[in-house]
Amino acid sequence: MITVKATPPDTSSPDTPQGLRALIRSSEIGIVVLASVVGVLAGIVVVAMSLATQFLHELIFGIASGQRLSIASGIPPWRAIAGPVAGGLVVGFASWFFFRRRSQPVDPIEANALHGGRMSMRDSIIVALQTIGSSGSGASVGLEAGYTQAASGLASHIGRRLRLRRADMRLIVGCAAGGAIGAAFDAPLTGAFYAFELILGSYSIAVFVPVMAATFMATVTHDLLSPALLSVEVPAIGSITISDLPLVVLLGSACGLVGIVVMRAAAFVEAAFRRSRIPTYLRPAFGGLVVGALAIWIPSVFSAGHGAINLYLGMDASLGLLALVLVAKALASSVSIGSGFRGGLFFASLLLGVLTGRLFIGLLTPFFPNLVGHETLFALVGMSSLAVSIVGGPMTMALLALEMTGNLKLTLAVMGAAGAASLVTRRLFGYSFATWRFHLRGESIRGAYDVGWIRDLTAGSMMRLEVPKIEADAPIAEARLKYPPGSINYLVAVGQNDAYAGMIPPGALYEPDPALDEQAAAEPAPRTVRHLLRNGDKMLLANMSVRDTLKLFDEAESEALPVVADRESRRLVGILSEAHAIKRYSEEVSRRNRELTGE
């Protein structure tokens, strides 16, 4: 019989309400109620962070109460530069102080992909405060990353206190992130599909009701506490005809290219700062200096750009101005992210998309006079398409256009353009911005699909602790005496300090070998098991994932392999059979499939 390594004891708080936990685990109603509570908390988080950021805008830049920073005029140049630089110093030193001796915080996508929804509440609060400081001081970043980080961290903390299962933890983290986005845009459907596409990595009927409950409650909470705080005003949209669709798809492809340029630029700036001798804690201040210098002439580069998006959706502007603002905003966002400010590119990508759409139709109007009056239409299509390229989530952005305008025909046009943008980005780049940054850090994940269980299912967690072993220099006769025929399925030879020497096929102890018999006749010393060793260089490490484990079994063509502490000492700590590894892998795959189907 195969025994496995014991599961670590549950270290959750002993005072967890057992009745509430049982209700949530055993009843769909319970998880829906929990999702609704998480949604309310997400709505409160969005309101609090938005008000705090607006307060900083008014305090630092001296703008009027309720005025949008990105369309404010008359800001003194010294304030325009001093604000982002001072904010960069605060954010830089905060990052250095809190994260100098620990890994960078886990965001909701990474948490659901690798850690079963487990996030640090402390780290999430710090990131939320840094995001407020970054956007509040004028850095060209959005608050959406902070919204989802804070809300998801809070939800994860609640889930740990309730000792929820892995699937339920991932679900409530998705509910929190979706609720935050739904509240931010007054768009519950958008928030729900943000959760499905970007946080959970899949859609199933089982999770639809909890996610929708969370996004609905978050949106209602935000509207009750602060209606129109983050609203986007959409002018009248021209009629959409079949003849417009080829140009719409072409615009989507162009937005895909622009999105790739922006993501590459952010990565280039980040790499340039790493190669420079500027200390990490001073880099955001240098980024703030660039943003402030740009903002003296183009205030639209400031912060996320809520006011600017309303401005450029409806205003008459020259092609030169649109191109200038597009380049300046792309540069400011890339420098802000690359230099170390906290925040995301969600809302910045929406503004860049509006500018790209307006520029696109402006360039084509001389050749297609029938496009006159379609400026808002192409601006909205560009807005959603460029966001798909950078953020991901084609259905999320299509539903955002629908909830902003209520125009179904526009939504169909956006879906075509979003598909083109997604295709161009995947074929030419391969990542959204979030997964691109994971790639730069050495992670291979491309989305929030739950691959963390594969890393958790290691050779160490599956191995058998009791290992039949014998000294490599022991005589074969001793091995035969210690392990009679049929008593074991595999045998491990070890050297000094239990160092792995090789595997011994048990049957080989009793098989006659003429070559060895001749050698034995010529040597006075008895034969040892060292003559029978196999796979001396094939060994498993305790932290090796099940996929790597099965791959090594295939290479070694062995039914069992030893598990060692490390390759240097080769100290034997356990043994694992291929049959048991395959069985455990199959069981986990079946479990994940049941979670997806809601069984």
Within a domain: residue 381?
A: yes
Q: What angle do CA 299, 304, 310 make, to 5 degrees?
A: 75
pLDDT of 466 strictly over 70: yes
* CATH code where residue 542 lies: 3.10.580.10
> Are both 48 and 193 inside the same structural domain?
yes
Within a domain: residue 450?
A: no
* Residue 520 pLDDT grade (very low, low, confident, very high; cuts 50, 70, 90): very low
Instruction: Mark which of 412, 440, 468 sits at the end of a domain.
Output: 440
Model confidence pLDDT, tens digit, residues 362-385: 998 888 777 777 788 899 999 999
Q: What angle do CA 21, 25, 31 make, to 5 degrees?
A: 90
pLDDT: which is higher, 43 or 513: 43
Q: Looking at the 3D structure of the chain, how many domains does it have?
A: 3
> Are both 185 and 323 inside the same structural domain?
no
Instruction: Mark which of 230, 251, 286 sits at the end of a domain.
Output: 230
DSSP letters of 475-544? BHHHHHHHS-TTS-S-EEEE-GGGBEEEEE-GGGGTS--HHHHHHHHH-SSPPBGGGG-B-TT--EETT-
Q: What angle do CA 305, 139, 63 make, to 5 degrees?
A: 65
* CATH code where residue 114 lies: 1.10.3080.10
Give the mean pLDDT of 216-225: 94
The one-letter code for the residue type at 474 is A
> Are both 270 and 404 inside the same structural domain?
yes
Within a domain: residue 445?
A: no
pLDDT of 545 strictly over 50: yes
Q: Out of 179-183, 225-229, 287-291, 558-562, pick the least confident.
A: 225-229
Give the mean pLDDT of 450-458: 69
Residues present in the chain in total:
599
DSSP letters of 185-222? HT-HHHHHHHIIIIIISS--HHHHHHHHHHHHHHHHHH
> Are both 198 and 247 inside the same structural domain?
no
> Are both 257 and 343 inside the same structural domain?
yes
Please tell me the distance from the alpha carbon of residue 24 to that of residue 131, in angstroms, as a whole number: 33
pLDDT: which is higher, 103 or 249: 249
* Residue 138 pLDDT grade (very low, low, confident, very high; cuts 50, 70, 90): very high
Give the mean pLDDT of 496-505: 86
Residue 17's pLDDT is 56
Within a domain: residue 115?
A: yes
> In degrees rounded to 5, what are phi and psi of residue 528?
-115, 165
Model confidence pLDDT, tens digit, residues 580-595: 888 888 887 777 666 6
Which of 417-426, 503-512, 555-564, 583-592 ranks highest by mean pLDDT? 417-426
> Are both 433 and 410 inside the same structural domain?
yes
Residue 512's pLDDT is 64
The one-letter code for the residue type at 64 is A
Tokens 């539903």, located at residue: 399
Please tell me the distance from the alpha carbon of residue 461 to that of residue 588, in angstroms, as a whole number: 13
Within a domain: residue 307?
A: yes
> Are both 508 and 578 inside the same structural domain?
yes
CA 304 to chain CA centroid, nearest Å: 21
pLDDT of 518 strictly over 60: no
Q: Out of 293-297, 462-466, 586-590, pick the least confident.
A: 586-590
Percent of the chain at pLDDT exceeding 70: 87
Within a domain: residue 2?
A: no
Give the mean pLDDT of 261-282: 90
* Residue 6 pLDDT grade (very low, low, confident, very high; cuts 50, 70, 90): very low
> Are both 45 and 83 inside the same structural domain?
yes
Within a domain: residue 3?
A: no
Model confidence pLDDT, tens digit, residues 380-401: 999 999 999 999 888 999 999 8
Partners of 375 in beta bridges: none
pLDDT of 340 strictly over 80: yes
Give the mean pLDDT of 299-312: 88
Give the mean pLDDT of 525-548: 81
Query: Both tokens of residue 264?
Result: 């590459």
Which of 308-317, 351-360, 572-581 ranks highest by mean pLDDT? 351-360
Give the mean pLDDT of 69-84: 91
At 563, is the secondary structure helix, strand, or coil?
strand
Model confidence pLDDT, tens digit, residues 83-112: 999 999 999 999 888 887 777 788 898 888
pLDDT: which is higher, 8 or 447: 447
pLDDT: which is higher, 367 or 228: 367
Tokens 């792309």, located at residue: 330
Q: Are 341 and 383 in contact (CB under 8 A)?
A: no
> Are both 226 and 246 inside the same structural domain?
no
pLDDT: which is higher, 294 or 439: 294
Average pLDDT, the chain: 85
Within a domain: residue 47?
A: yes
Residue 524's pLDDT is 43
Query: Both tokens of residue 58?
Result: 């008014």
Please report, in angstroms and rounded to a whole number, the separation of the first and last CA atoms in the chain: 30
> Are both 128 and 259 inside the same structural domain?
no
Residue 25's pLDDT is 62
pLDDT of 38 strictly over 90: yes
Domain residues for the domain of 90 are: 18-230
Residue 21's pLDDT is 65
Tokens 């160092």, located at residue: 499
> Are both 255 and 226 inside the same structural domain?
no
Q: Out of 211-225, 352-366, 477-491, pick the least confident.
A: 477-491
> Are both 382 and 501 inside the same structural domain?
no
Instruction: Mark which of 406, 440, 474 sits at the end of a domain.
Output: 440
* Residue 19 pLDDT grade (very low, low, confident, very high; cuts 50, 70, 90): low
